[in-house]
Structure 1
Amino acid sequence: MRVVLADDHDLVRSGIKALLQMVPGVEVIAEARNGRELVTLVEDLQPDVVMTDISMPEMDGISAIGEIHSRHPGVRMLVLSMYDTVDFVKRAVAHGACGYLMKDAPPFELEQAIRSVMATGSYFSPAIAQRLLQPSEPTADDELTHRQVEILKLIAQGRASKEIAFELGLSPKTVDVHRARIMERLQLNDIASLTLYAVRKGLVKP
């Protein structure tokens, strides 16, 4: 099983790689520090499995999963994350993930997860499976349009309207209109509240 591993923390990635190298028949063929790099590596190397974190710079793990799934539906994608809320899991699955594993899982579960996604097409740890049975609150994708989610991420990163407009190819006035609509839809009144919302939904790192 050829695996591409993605996590923006070098130490975490090294630890996961070391554990995977102890699993017979598993080879880590490449590593990525962000979602954009992950998409490129998968395009070039065509691995069997992608194991990725969610919160990464440049492109988050869920966006990367969605892009990879649309181009390479046969690649199995396993999320390895510290986020265990139902909306994170459901967003990952909706974008194409076939498994979800917590970073605090015991080491043996890593082998169990990767073998399961290859053999049966899915793996969800017992804790995650139990959470999936609970009702979930709406995700950012449920509450906002794709463009609004893009703008909200940049607002939460402290970008000014002009910067956001330049990055997304919009006018500053259009960005301001989107921001007003986001605030109205979410019933939030200031940038600090928008930022807290973005962190809670996993759109940006705390």
Structure 2
Amino acid sequence: MTIRVLLIDNHPLVLEGLEALLRTFDHIEVVGTAATARVGLERAVQTRPDVVLMDINMPQMSGIEAIELFRENLPQTKILMLSMHDSKEYISTSVLHGASGYILKDVSTDEIISAIEAVAAGGTYFSSGVSAALLDKKDNAASSLLTTREHDVLLLIASGRSNRDIAQALAISEATAETHRKKVKKKLGITTTAGLVRFAIDNGLAAQEADIPTTG
């Protein structure tokens, strides 16, 4: 299945490099590029991309400011933020505004592709390089509210895993994974997956997935 991608970055070399890189993959189609968020939005309305890969720091309008405009005009399009900054504030604010992922500009080609694939499939993705930022602030909010299994489910949800992925990782059924997801939402008073991701980020949990025992 081809993933249609629109690139937005005000640095010509970055834009050209990303475009050339993505065009080497048969399952990814670059449908357009733009140097500003406003132009990018216009092109996105015309081309209807599956994923918008967008820089944060741009003239006229920042990538974060643009997220809500994209969500309003193109609710089916997923937003993947691209940045040089691993600031927790940037990451958290991006998610709050509706971004599905956040990657750093110095990540590997494989990680860029993995991020695009993950958000295109309806999941979330955080660059490995943002782990330190995500772990800057920890508290026991989740631990005091959730069981150990629910805590593990929350971490997997925050990393963009589907119920099927969660079931495989924890050796449970998909129905049980969905039940855990509902219980986590109810206990935390959160109604959306994006809200769970934001909670995990704010509590320094989103980078802890590697600590979860798996059966694989």
Fold conserved between structures, TM > 0.5: yes
CA RMSD, 1 decimal: 1.5
Q: Distance in 2 between matches of 1:129 and 1:135?
A: 11
Question: Residue type matched to 1:60 in 2?
Answer: S
Residue equivalent to 2:193: none
Distance 1:94 1:41 in 2: 24
Deviations 1:5-52 (A, max 9, x none): 000011110001111111221011110101111111112221111000
Give distance in 1, aligned partners of 2:57 and 2:128. Answer: 22
- 1:33-84 deviation line (CA, Å, top 9, x unaligned): 0111111111222111100000111211111111101222211110111011
For the structure 1 residues 122 and 36, does the alpha-carbon distance in structure 2 shift closer, same or farther, using more than 3 Å as the test?
same
- Contact kept, 8 Å, 1:3 with 1:28, in 2: the verdict is yes
Q: Does 2:15 align with 1:13?
A: yes
The separation in 2 between residues aligned to 1:123 and 1:14, in whole angstroms, is 23
Q: How does 1:47-62 map to 2 (within 5 A)?
A: 47-62=49-64
**Equivalent position SS for 2:56:** coil
- Deviation of 1:133 after TM superposition, in Å, equals 3.2
Question: Is residue 2 of structure 1 aligned with residue 19 of structure 2?
Answer: no
- Please name the residue that 1:114 is paired with: 116
Distance 2:28 2:47 in 1: 15
Q: How many residues align?
A: 136
Q: How far apart are residue 129 of structure 1 and its match?
A: 4.0
Q: In the alignment, what sits opposite 2:208? A: none
Q: TM-score, normalised by structure 2?
A: 0.60
Q: Give unpaired runs (5+ residues) of structure 1.
A: 137-206
| SS in structure 2 at match of 1:23 | coil
- Give 1:134 shift: 2.4
Gaps of 5+ in 2: 139-216
Q: Which residue of 2 aligns with 1:72?
A: 74
Match for residue 90 of structure 1 among 85, 89, 92: 92
Confirm or deny: 8 A CA contact 2:107 2:129 kept in the other structure: no
Output aligned runs, 1:176-187, within 5 Å: none
Answer whether contact 1:20 1:27 (CA < 8 A) is retained: yes
Are 2:38 and 1:40 aligned? no
Deviations 1:145-176 (A, max 9, x none): xxxxxxxxxxxxxxxxxxxxxxxxxxxxxxxx
Quick one: which amino acid aligns to residue 8 of structure 2? A
Structure 2 Cα separation of the partners of residues 22 and 65 of structure 1: 27
Find the aligned partners of 1:134 and 1:103 in 2 and give their Cα distance. Answer: 21
Amino acid at match of 1:68: F
Q: Distance in 1 between matches of 2:57 and 2:44?
A: 18
CA distance in 2: counterparts of 1:113 and 1:10, whole angstroms: 22
CA contact (8 A) 1:52 1:80 kept: yes
In structure 2, the CA distance between the partners of 1:48 and 1:12, relative to structure 1 (3 Å rule), is: same
**Mapped contact 1:38–1:64 kept (Cα < 8 A):** no
Contact 1:4 1:50 in 2 (8 A): yes
Q: Does the aligned pair in 2 maintain the 1:76–1:121 contact within 8 Å?
A: no
What is the distance in 1 between the residues matched to 2:75 and 2:113? 22
Offset of residue 130 of structure 1: 4.4
Runs of 4+ in 1 over 6 A off after TM superposition: none
CA contact 1:20–1:110 (8 Å) conserved in 2:
no
* CA-CA distance at 1:124 after TM superposition: 0.7
- Alpha-carbon distance change, 11 to 86 in structure 1, aligned in 2, over 3 angstroms: same
